[in-house]
């Protein structure tokens, strides 16, 4: 019922284990977009895709279990997700793409590069979650990672949470930048509050630190061009624990610190994101 309210914007790639939803626009070198936690491809189609479709064939995936993609058995690791998306992209005829990953999608992008870096032209990472961080996750994720949270709390939240609470959560994610007018309607309130998606997202976020800790020793071997954009006011994915460590470890990674920007740079300053993608393309020899 939840998925019947918001319609898919794209088409489907059928794999043996299920279908992946992909929004495809434009022509040119391939640019694959991977969204963040509890999101979907509509986060990019709100504004960013159209800005890049003049110069690239943009392919924005719903990660497995999110948006309109099947859950592929509820896979949790960035490596597993990256492999599903890599195969889907290959079936679409994608060759030597640039990856654009936001937040959790940055971890999936790094996993893709570790597994098949020779098949990539480069990466543009937005507030990427790439490394283990100190301390614990917030109370919400600690609660929703428990049996009670997974089986009682999240299903109840999906059914009963008022729109105002979702808007307040979004405001916190975007802060100090404003949430663009009409964003929640475009993203899909019904998709955002899908119980199965909320449950999978909680499991993925709660297990992410262990996965990036296991992945990070492989980062220094990467040599593909990487452009990283990270807001100095991002309190969701800390600049010092992720982007700064990545550029310190990977010689080919370059960091743009976005002063005063929070966790959603592609909405706060989309023109700078477009410029970073163009720099990635130029460094990769695509321009």
Domains of the chain: residue spans and CATH = 11-135+209-283 (3.40.50.1820)
Quickly state the pLDDT bin for 140 (edges 50, 70, 90).
low
**Mean pLDDT across 157-166:** 75
Residue 244 CB partners (closer than 8 Å, separation 6+): 230, 255
What burial class does residue 147 get, using C-beta atoms within 10 Å of its C-beta: 0-12 exposed, 13-18 middle, 19+ buried? Answer: exposed
Output the CA–CA distances (angstroms, integers) from residue 117 to 103, 121, 236, in the order listed: 19, 8, 27
List, for residues 234-244, the tens digit of each pLDDT value. Answer: 999 999 999 99
Beta pairing partners, 258 = 231
SS3 1: coil
pLDDT(4) > 70: no
Alpha-carbon torsion angle 9, 85, 3, 7, nearest 10 = 0
Predicted local confidence at residue 54, as pLDDT: 95
Predicted local confidence at residue 142, as pLDDT: 66
Predicted local confidence at residue 143, as pLDDT: 65
């Amino acid at each position: 019922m939840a998925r019947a309210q918001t319609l898919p914007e794209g088409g489907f790639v059928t794999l043996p284990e299920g279908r992946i939803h992909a929004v495809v626009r434009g022509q040119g070198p391939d640019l694959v977009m991977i969204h963040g936690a509890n999101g979907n491809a509509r986060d990019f189609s709100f504004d960013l895709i159209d800005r890049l479709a003049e110069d690239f064939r943009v392919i924005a995936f719903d990660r497995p279990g999110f948006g309109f993609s099947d859950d592929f058995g509820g896979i949790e690791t960035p490596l597993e997700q990256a492999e599903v998306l890599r195969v889907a992209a290959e079936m679409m005829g994608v060759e030597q793409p640039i990856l654009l990953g936001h937040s959790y999608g940055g971890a999936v992008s790094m996993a893709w590069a570790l597994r098949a870096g020779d098949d990539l032209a480069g990466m543009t990472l937005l507030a990427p979650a790439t490394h283990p961080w100190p301390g614990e996750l917030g109370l919400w994720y600690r609660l929703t990672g428990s049996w009670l949270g997974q089986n009682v709390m999240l299903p109840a939240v999906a059914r009963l949470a008022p729109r105002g609470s979702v808007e307040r959560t979004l405001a916190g994610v975007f802060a100090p930048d404003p949430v663009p007018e009409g964003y929640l309607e475009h993203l899909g309130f019904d998709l955002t509050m899908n119980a199965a998606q909320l449950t999978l997202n909680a499991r993925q976020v709660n297990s992410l630190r262990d996965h990036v800790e296991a992945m990070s020793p492989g980062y220094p071997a990467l040599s593909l061009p990487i452009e990283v954009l990270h807001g100095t006011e991002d309190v969701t994915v800390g600049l010092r624990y992720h982007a700064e460590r990545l550029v310190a470890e990977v010689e080919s990674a370059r960091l743009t610190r976005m002063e005063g920007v929070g966790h959603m740079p592609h909405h706060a300053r989309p023109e700078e994101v477009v410029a970073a993608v163009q720099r990635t393309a130029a460094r990769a020899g695509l321009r």
